[in-house]
Structure 1
Amino acid sequence: MVISILGCGWLGLPLGEQLRDKDNMIKGSTTRSDKLALLKGKNITPYLINFNPEINKEANQSFWDSDLLILNIPPGRKRDNVETFHEQQIKAIIKQLEDSTISHLIFVSSTSVYPPKPGIVTEEDAQPGKAARNSGNALLTAEKLLQQQPAFDTTIIRFGGLYGYDRHPVTHLSGRKNLKKGNAPVNLIHRDDCIGIIREIIDRDIRNDVFNGVSDAHPPKRMYYPAVARERDLPPPQYAEDEEEGYKVVSNQKLKQVLNYKFKYPNPMDF
């Protein structure tokens, strides 16, 4: 297959390397010109593509001459107009796809699309405009726009918080005190499992479906993050007393049933 990856960063680059090793031709985009040589050195055809929110006019159109597109450009959380900006980005991508050879799109979304309601949430629990953050609402709008397009099939994966290797959310929590919601369960997933799930979807040619991508276990924050900090020789975060109950747990049961996927890191505590 010829596979284009829009966003060859922390997740997209190692994904591209693994797909390349399975005899696929990989095209990868970056927003930074200094990364073009890196992609080329890994046998990934490099493209410089920016969305502000329209695609830069000098972008090479051959990027869209592929069988499959993996869309991996998250909305910026800190942007004031994140919902309208990301919608314009997605519409610019759709415009490119209408006349392309791409018949299948895998959209990397997030569990931030779910409302902050207590209990176990499944893929059906996302409600337009009800996400906990504006970035989640932006992703829901993007999902709907992509699913409505007749020119290509769309598969959506809503990943939890990503971690692995040189990246972990504890880095931003280290040493902080009196943190809230210590009893809240984590909804995380290791990068290796993200890549494994995407590869499984490609191998099985799963189309027009939505999956949650989170690990099996959901330890509470007050247990998990201090333990990870100590393992990494970082000052552990400290949590205030928490009497709140009924936190959200994201279910991965559909993913496991449909894909028969077995997690490499089923418990984030297994470090």
Structure 2
Amino acid sequence: MKLLVMGAGYVGEALLRYLQIQKHKIFITTTRKERVNALSYYGHSVLLPIEDKEFKELIDSCDGVIILIAPKNLQSYKEVYLQTAKRVSLVLKDRQTPFYLLYTSSTSVCEGQQNKWVTEDRVLCPKSENAKILLEAERSYLNCNASTCILRLGGIYGPKRELLDRVKHFSGKKMLSSGEEFTNHIHLEDIIAAIRFCLDHSLTGIYHLVNDDHTPRRELYSHLCQLAGIPSPIWSKDSSKSSYKVCNQKIKSMGFIFKHPRFKQMI
């Protein structure tokens, strides 16, 4: 299978390490020139941003694409997510042969739900501009000429991105929320395993990718701070921030098994 992997950041590079041992022919795109040599180890070809004609030729030569892009520096969500979605949709418009598209979105599109389980079929109406853009990008991919799978990722943690490191940043600081909002996280290893699962089973549609543990933020952060022997964040009395638990039952029903279903395996 010829695959184009767009984005080689934290998740992208971990995925490339896995794909390297498979029988796929991998093309990689990156916006960072200084990473071309390092990434060339993982794929057949590494490309910097290319013109639309070359991009169409690249897509035409592949059987599928995995889109793992994220904003860099001053890039806007609209520039990165929505424009990419429209560009991919355009080049696939006249494709005659089957094409598989996997896109990693975010559970932030679920914002605005309050104390509810959020399933993939819930009608979403996010208020923030960034979440609206992410949702519009999802719709663009779902409506393009491809077999599309969207994984909505929770807050990512894993090697070199441990939750404890994030908590240390907030230690002793005043927070803008009460900390009662539920958390929705996913381990890097489960992201890579889920992408592999979707590829192997040609899954289509939207799937939430979060673990089973929705410990409220205050409780989780306080526990981690206690383990590290550092002051906990100072929480406000404002409980107006939306709080929702993202349901992961749909991907489980397809047979996917989480390696890191709960935080107790980590802390």
Coarse TM-score class (shorter-chain normalised)? 0.7 to 0.9
Relative to structure 1, is the Cα distance of residues 177 and 36 closer, same or farther in structure 2, using a 3 angstrom cutoff? same
Percent identity among equivalent residues? 29
Q: Is the 8 A contact 1:76 1:135 kept in 2?
A: no
Q: 1:89, CA displacement in angstroms?
A: 2.8
Q: 1:161, CA displacement in angstroms?
A: 0.9
Query: Which residue of structure 1 aligns with residue 107 of structure 2?
Result: 111
Query: Which residue of structure 1 aligns with residue 118 of structure 2?
Result: 121
Residues 203-256 of structure 1 deviation map (CA, whole Å, 9 limit, x = unaligned)? 11112x110000011111112123334556765423235667983111001111
Relative to structure 1, is the Cα distance of residues 106 and 23 closer, same or farther in structure 2, using a 3 angstrom cutoff? same
Question: More displaced, 27-36 or 38-47?
Answer: 38-47
Query: Which residue of structure 1 aligns with residue 29 of structure 2?
Result: 29
SS of the aligned residue for 2:17 comes to helix
User: Are 2:153 and 1:159 aligned?
Assistant: yes
User: Are 2:68 and 1:72 aligned?
Assistant: yes
Residues 79-116 of structure 1 deviation map (CA, whole Å, 9 limit, x = unaligned)? 6x744774333212222333566701001111111141
1:217 maps to amino acid: D
Alignment of 1:118-197 (within 5 A): 118=114, 119-127=116-124, 130-149=125-144, 151-167=145-161, 168=163, 169-170=166-167, 172-197=169-194
Relative to structure 1, is the Cα distance of residues 104 and 234 closer, same or farther in structure 2, using a 3 angstrom cutoff? farther
Residues 164-203 of structure 1 deviation map (CA, whole Å, 9 limit, x = unaligned)? 1112443543442244131111101011111111100111
2:148 maps to amino acid: T
Give structure 2 stretches of 5+ with no counterpart: none
Query: Which residue of structure 1 aligns with residue 6 of structure 2?
Result: 6
Q: Is the 8 A contact 2:20 2:42 kept in 1?
A: no
Query: Which residue of structure 2 aligns with residue 211 of structure 1?
Result: 207
**What is the TM-score when the length of structure 2 is the normalising length?**
0.85
- Between the aligned partners of 2:186 and 2:89, the Cα distance in structure 1 is 28
Q: Is the 8 A contact 1:68 1:104 kept in 2?
A: yes
- One of 241, 258, 263 as aligned partner of 1:263: 258
Aligned pairs, how many? 260
Relative to structure 1, is the Cα distance of residues 43 and 115 closer, same or farther in structure 2, using a 3 angstrom cutoff? closer
Relative to structure 1, is the Cα distance of residues 102 and 20 closer, same or farther in structure 2, using a 3 angstrom cutoff? farther
- Between the aligned partners of 1:94 and 1:179, the Cα distance in structure 2 is 39
SS of the aligned residue for 2:40 comes to helix
Query: Which residue of structure 2 aligns with residue 227 of structure 1?
Result: 223
Relative to structure 1, is the Cα distance of residues 236 and 102 closer, same or farther in structure 2, using a 3 angstrom cutoff? farther
Q: Is the 8 A contact 1:224 1:269 kept in 2?
A: no
Q: 1:76, CA displacement in angstroms?
A: 7.3
Q: Is the 8 A contact 1:174 1:234 kept in 2?
A: yes
Relative to structure 1, is the Cα distance of residues 165 and 233 closer, same or farther in structure 2, using a 3 angstrom cutoff? farther
Relative to structure 1, is the Cα distance of residues 43 and 255 closer, same or farther in structure 2, using a 3 angstrom cutoff? same
Say which structure, 1 or 2, has more relative contact order (CA 8 Å, 6+ apart): 2
Q: Is the 8 A contact 2:104 2:153 kept in 1?
A: yes
- Between the aligned partners of 2:55 and 2:192, the Cα distance in structure 1 is 26
Relative to structure 1, is the Cα distance of residues 62 and 10 closer, same or farther in structure 2, using a 3 angstrom cutoff? farther
- Between the aligned partners of 2:54 and 2:35, the Cα distance in structure 1 is 15
Give structure 1 stretches of 5+ with no counterpart: 50-54
Q: 1:32, CA displacement in angstroms?
A: 0.5
- Between the aligned partners of 1:223 and 1:44, the Cα distance in structure 2 is 46
